[in-house]
Amino acid sequence: MGAERKSAVISPDNLKLTAYHEGGHALVALKTAGSMPIHKATIVPRGNTLGMVAYLPEKDQMNMSREQLLAHIDICMGGRVAEELIYGTGGVTTGAGSDLQQATNTARNMVTKYGMSSLLGPLYYTSEELSNLSNPDANPTLANPNPNLTLTPTLTLTLTLTLTLTRSLATCRRPRARRWSRRCDRCALPY
């Protein structure tokens, strides 16, 4: 986790927001099938972060299933959804930036490297092929695996990533998350 950043002066409001954000990650991790167990959660600033939730697998793991990858994306989105539930869509902060980056990278790898897309099929795309996606004529091996689709490969990739991330946001916004946010308004969080 790194050493505590003792020089950081964090306002009580920012600590509260960080607690909600990190609590969102933890809550989604506890309630999502396929997620790793939580090792530690903190709102103590360390390095460039204001807080973090750390996970440890129960045993050594060499491969990850689709369920585990989707759980990771859900957990990444949990902090942002917690901010939305507590502060509204206008109150979402930049604190979710690295979470969005992780979620997008995981979704992109699922689609382009692990063949986990029903739209693109079980294909692996190299970096060169990805750069040529907008021009299917540049690489004939990138033929559309589903002839019924009229989408360009680039649009298909973007659509697939968007659908994956949107599914994750919807999963995190289920009614139990809203109940959790109402309970947190009534409880006193230790800061």
Active centre residues (catalytic): 22
| Cβ-based burial of 88 (10 A; exposed 0-12, middle 13-18, buried ≥19) | exposed
Single-letter residue type at 122: P
Using H for helix, E for strand and C for coil, what is the string for 20-49?
HHHHHHHHHHHHCCCCCCEEEEECCCECCE
Q: 3-state DSSP call for residue 117? A: strand
Residue 44 contacts residue 4 (beta carbons within 8 Å): yes
